[in-house]
């Protein structure tokens, strides 16, 4: 079934990491940053204040320090080789990756073939 989702009709051979990456849906988001970190910190502080009588003061300082350390970090949801595959596919000037008109499939074409086909379509109109 997976082979139906990706149609590689280019001369380029995909690596396993590139294939895994392309098997994901078009709406897949590669990286997420904690964007609402201030709201998150505020919620933690409010709940810590409620527990203040039961907790040691150093607990609050420790949590704040850890949140500050993680506030600028990204949530990583792909492997390193898949991230390298994104760069590889993006920087390959010989291929075009496109979504097919019907269905949820991906087609990989040689860029020259794609341009020729598009020019032929435009000439017919």
Residue 72's SS3 state is: coil
Domain boundaries, the chain: 1-30+77-125, 34-76
The distance of Cα 102 from the centroid of its chain, to the nearest Å, equals: 23
Which of 26, 18, 24 has its CA nearest to residue 84?
Answer: 18
pLDDT tens, per residue, the chain with 125 residues: 455 588 899 999 999 999 988 888 777 777 666 566 677 777 777 776 776 666 677 877 787 777 667 666 666 778 889 889 989 999 999 999 988 887 778 899 999 999 999 999 999 87
Retrieve residue 72's tokens: 């600028």
- Burial string for 24-62 (b: 16+ CB within 10 Å, else e) reads eeeeeeeeeebeeeeeebeeeeeeeeeeeeeeeeeebee
What pLDDT does 1 receive? 41
Are 95 and 108 within 8 A, CB to CB?
Answer: yes
CA–CA separation, 45 and 107 (whole Å): 49
> H/E element holding 33?
strand 31-33
């Amino acid at each position: 079934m997976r082979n139906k989702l990706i149609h590689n009709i280019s001369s380029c051979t995909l690596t396993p990491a590139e294939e895994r990456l392309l098997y994901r849906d078009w709406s897949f988001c590669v990286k997420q940053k904690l964007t609402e970190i201030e709201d998150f910190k505020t919620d933690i502080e409010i709940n810590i204040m409620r527990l203040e009588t039961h907790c040691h003061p150093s607990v609050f300082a420790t949590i704040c320090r850890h949140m500050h350390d993680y506030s600028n970090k990204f949530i990583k949801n792909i492997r390193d080789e898949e991230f390298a595959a994104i760069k590889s596919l993006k920087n390959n000037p010989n291929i075009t990756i496109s979504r097919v008109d019907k269905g949820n499939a991906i087609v990989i074409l040689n860029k020259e073939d794609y341009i020729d086909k598009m020019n032929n379509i435009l000439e017919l109109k």
